[in-house]
Amino acid sequence: MPDTSPPDSVGLVSPTLIQFDEPLDLACGRTLPGYELMVETYGELNRDASNAILICHALSGHHHAAGYHSGDDAEKPGWWDLYIGPGKPIDSSRFFIVSLNNIGGCHGSTGPKSINPETGEPWGPTFPPLRARDWVNTQARLADHFGIAQWAVVIGGSLGGMQAMRWALEYPSRLRHCIVIASAMKLTAQNIAFNEIARRAITEDPDFHGGNYLMEDTVPRNGLALARMIGHVTYLSDELMGSRFGRELRSGTFQRGLDTPIEFQVESYLRHQGDKFSNDFDANTYILMTKVLDYFDLAREYGDDPVAAFKHAECKFLVISFSSDWRFSPERSREIVDALVAAKKDVSYADIQSSQGHDAFLLPNERYQKLLKAYLAAVATDAEQREEAS
């Protein structure tokens, strides 16, 4: 099949399922007997493995971050294709880029939809609860698998940024740069509340069956759609929704004498988003991943002192926030930066002007693109010099 993707795309890619047989001790105290990770890579690892970048995905993300799987005209590229590819900020012509679906996920890696070897049935709601550190541990083994002793960069947005920060504390010598985008050291009560409402929408859908919906041959479609709608509204800014939808009605305007159901465009858009998501995503994974978000607390085991926590880090940091992001507001990023400065770490920070809310980290933005590109170009040059010197 000819590759018809644009020249700055990584083109056609295929995920690989990698098996890890060594048991994994989890933060919750339980042990996963073994696990599989669904992984994509873009670009080539250099001779001394100094040019590797790890992509950590957010709540609804997965391994397919760039390029195309089929090359069909209608196919959408990976979720961060705007930023990953030859000549793009995360430049696949200079870096070896590793992207995985985290365990607990629903896109091929071991998760609630997988078979529990001890019972022969899907894990479902019995899949162990996870913490970001569990993911970081599996990602460290993935690095071992590729022979990567040290990542040039660990990067992620939102929940992905939390993993990147956890990397800097758990494996300080194994990354040179940590890029934290639209993230936080812990969620606010408001953020936890939105997640709880989304979870309750799922768990109270009669098709949820206490999480055992697969055994009942159904899925809690309505609950998942509602959860996604809540997420979607809160990940966009008021301003963006206003400019995109205004108060446009989908079918004519309300008039005296007209007593039929009419909708605002924003309503049908949201319903569409919700319904689409409910076909693609696993409800137990959604619950599990929002719990990882809620319980993430960077400094908890460092006496609730983020400065003490970040003292363990050895890498350089780039922190990015977006002005209209109200779920992971610039204030949360500035808290990270303040703690890093107080811990005497090398940190750069940019608050990017944007009307696109939390989702801005996935969307086109010239200043954001230029910033990432300039920062990562310097990292790539450094990696190339290391390779030459080795």
Kindly state whether residue 213 participates in binding a copy of itself, applying the rule CB under 8 A. Answer: no
- Pair 163, 184: CB distance under 8 Å: no
Kindly state whether residue 101 participates in binding a copy of itself, applying the rule CB under 8 A. Answer: no
Would you say 297 or 305 has its CB closer to a copy of itself? 297
Residue with tokens 């002005």: 323
Cα maximum dimension of the chain: 80
Smallest distance from a copy of itself to CB 257, Å: 4
Helix residue ranges per DSSP H, the chain: 132-146, 159-170, 189-203, 221-235, 238-245, 265-280, 283-295, 306-310, 330-342, 366-389
In angstroms, the Cα distances linking 263 to 248, 252, 267, 290, 332 are: 9, 9, 6, 30, 36
- Residues 115-154: x where in contact with a copy of itself by CB under 8 A, - otherwise, as a string: -------------xx-------------------------
- Whole-angstrom distance, CA of residue 100 vs CA of residue 109: 8
The one catalytic residue in 158, 278, 324, 354 is 158
- Whole-angstrom distance, CA of residue 64 vs CA of residue 39: 8
- Pair 81, 14: CB distance under 8 Å: no
Smallest distance from a copy of itself to CB 154, Å: 23
Smallest distance from a copy of itself to CB 349, Å: 21
Q: What is the CA radius of gyration of the chain?
A: 21
Kindly state whether residue 196 participates in binding a copy of itself, applying the rule CB under 8 A. Answer: yes
Q: Angle 140-91-176 (CA atoms, 0-180°, nearest 5)?
A: 40
Residue 158 bears catalytic tag: yes
Residue 3 bears catalytic tag: no
Q: What is the token pair recorded at 67?
A: 């390029």
Site for a copy of itself in 240-299 (CB under 8 A): 241-242, 244-247, 254, 256-259, 264, 266-267, 270-271, 294-295, 297
Instruction: Choose which of 33, 147, 206, 303 interacts with a copy of itself (CB under 8 A).
Output: 206
Site for a copy of itself in 299-318 (CB under 8 A): none
Kindly state whether residue 215 participates in binding a copy of itself, applying the rule CB under 8 A. Answer: no
- In sequence order, which residues have a C-beta less than 8 Å from that of residue 4 and are 6 or more positions away? 71, 73
Would you say 29 or 117 has its CB closer to a copy of itself? 29
Instruction: Choose which of 107, 113, 186, 345 interacts with a copy of itself (CB under 8 A).
Output: 186
Interacting residue ranges for a copy of itself, rule: CB under 8 A: 27-30, 128-129, 186-190, 192-194, 196-197, 200-201, 204-206, 222, 225-226, 229-230, 233, 236, 238, 241-242, 244-247, 254, 256-259, 264, 266-267, 270-271, 294-295, 297, 326, 329
Q: Which residues are catalytic?
A: 158, 325, 358
